[in-house]
Amino acid sequence: MTHALPSYLNADAPGPWGVYLQQIDRVTPYLGELAYWVETLKRPKRILIVDIPVRMDNGQVQHFEGYRVHHNTSRGPGKGGIRFHQDVTLSEVMALSGWMTIKNAAVGVPYGGAKGGVRVDPRLLSRGELERLTRRYTSELNALIGPDKDIPAPDVNTNEQIMAWMMDTYSINQGRTATGVVTGKPLSLGGSLGRRDATGRGVFVVGVAAAADAGIPLAGARVAIQGFGNVGNAAARCFHEAGAHIVAVQDVTGTLFNAKGLDIPALCTWVNQGKPLAAYPEAERIPNDAFWDVETEFLVPSALEQQITTANAHRIRTRIVLEGANGPTTPEADDILTQRGITIVPDVLANAGGVTVSYFEWVQDFSSFFWTEDEINGRLDRIMQEAYTHIRDTAREQKVTLRTAAFILACERILKAREMRGLYP
């Protein structure tokens, strides 16, 4: 289907937003009478583009471009991360906000979808410059965010320190401490136990469920992970502790391979010391493109969007793809993998552990009553397992992929809320 794109996007190259629109088109025939409202999912509710002037350490003023997109808030306040990356685009942030809408509905947390980003390479900034950029960006978002309006969280190249600065800036502007304005904060500022590893743990939990359905034993299973940030790192540790062998890991510095399995605790220690992953001595360094040829039971893309494309989908040799990143597989590559009998556990389910524990953090902040890590992990595991089971059963009933099934369930929940609320005026 050809869409009338908004004037601020390039119709010839719509970017990630175009991928999101294709996914909505694929699910529309399954929505019945609710398809009447589907156009509301093809247009973000609101978009803010801000200029962020920052005084650099050398005294010069440098300007950065920032975004925050509210995609849909029919089911609750906006929820979605903030990423700092030099290649962030409006199309990307729009798509990420759309996927957040679907993700939140797919696992049943009471949020709408939002996302933010700043076009900056944070590796080139000093700590002081990074703090000034974060605080100015937060001030520019002041009218959009809030504990009952839009709750940001960490994403690519942001962390609990960034969230602490955002929370403090918002609180100063409000004249009161508002811990619930962001999630993914340090524990000392109302953060939640289990939040840092939540996304990777969720990837592992649905991976276990998918493996059980496919008859794949975890002990000795081979795993390849792209990206070794919070998501890939936590997923690697979970799989390793379950007896799987992490045979390949890739990040921006390069790709490591060990057919017998990498020593994940040692590799985590190496990376945590600030050393580049690719310089780790106890593994073979292979070309980055060779990562896609490694034979595995699980492939976990947990880096950026559009990593699995028509260029490499035919080469991938795995049983299950667990999408730790948002939008790592293009629709065309999705079709190729499905035709080859490879199960794809989609991003809107596989990486929903992060927003689920963010929801727990938000609830704890409001109540000022905090749970134990065992309680948090138990609740997370139950929600992820139940969501997987519901989506899997829908896929079998409708004879569709897990991705389409997740979109069916999510869109039904979102559009039912839209229908019940009606249009005003």
CA 268 to chain centre: 21
Q: Give buried/exposed letters for 78-107 (b at 16+ CB in 10 A, else e).
A: bbbbbbbbeebbbbbbbbbbbbbbbbbbbb
208 phi and psi, to 5 degrees? -60, -45
Measured CA to CA, the distance from residue 155 to residue 131 in angstroms comes to 16
Those residues with Cβ within 8 angstroms of residue 74's Cβ, 6 or more apart along the chain or in another chain: 40, 112, 414, 415, 417, 418, 421
Q: Which of 42, 45, 79, 115 is catalytic?
A: 115
Residue 254: which region, alpha, beta or left (left: phi > 0; alpha: psi -120 to 50)?
left
**Residue owning tokens 């929820």:** 79
What CA–CA distance (Å, rounded) separates 362 from 148?
10
Task: For residue 163, give the nearest of 375, 324, 369, 361 by alpha carbon.
Answer: 361
Is residue 79 part of the annotated active site? The answer reads no
Q: What share of the chain is helix, strand, coil (3-state, %, to 5)?
A: 50, 20, 35
Token pair 């803010």: residue? 48
- Given a contact cutoff of 8 angstroms between Cβ atoms, the answer to whether 14 and 391 are in contact is no
What burial class does residue 414 get, using C-beta atoms within 10 Å of its C-beta: 0-12 exposed, 13-18 middle, 19+ buried? buried
Helices (H), ranges, 108-225: 127-140, 160-174, 198-214
- Which string of DSSP letters, residue by residue, matches 280-333? -SSSEEE-GGGGGG-B-SEEEE-SSSS-B-TTTTTT-B-SEEE--SSS-B-HHH
Q: Cα separation of 389 and 382, whole Å?
A: 11
Residue with tokens 């940001």: 152
What type of residue is 160?
Answer: E
Residues labelled as active-site residues: 115
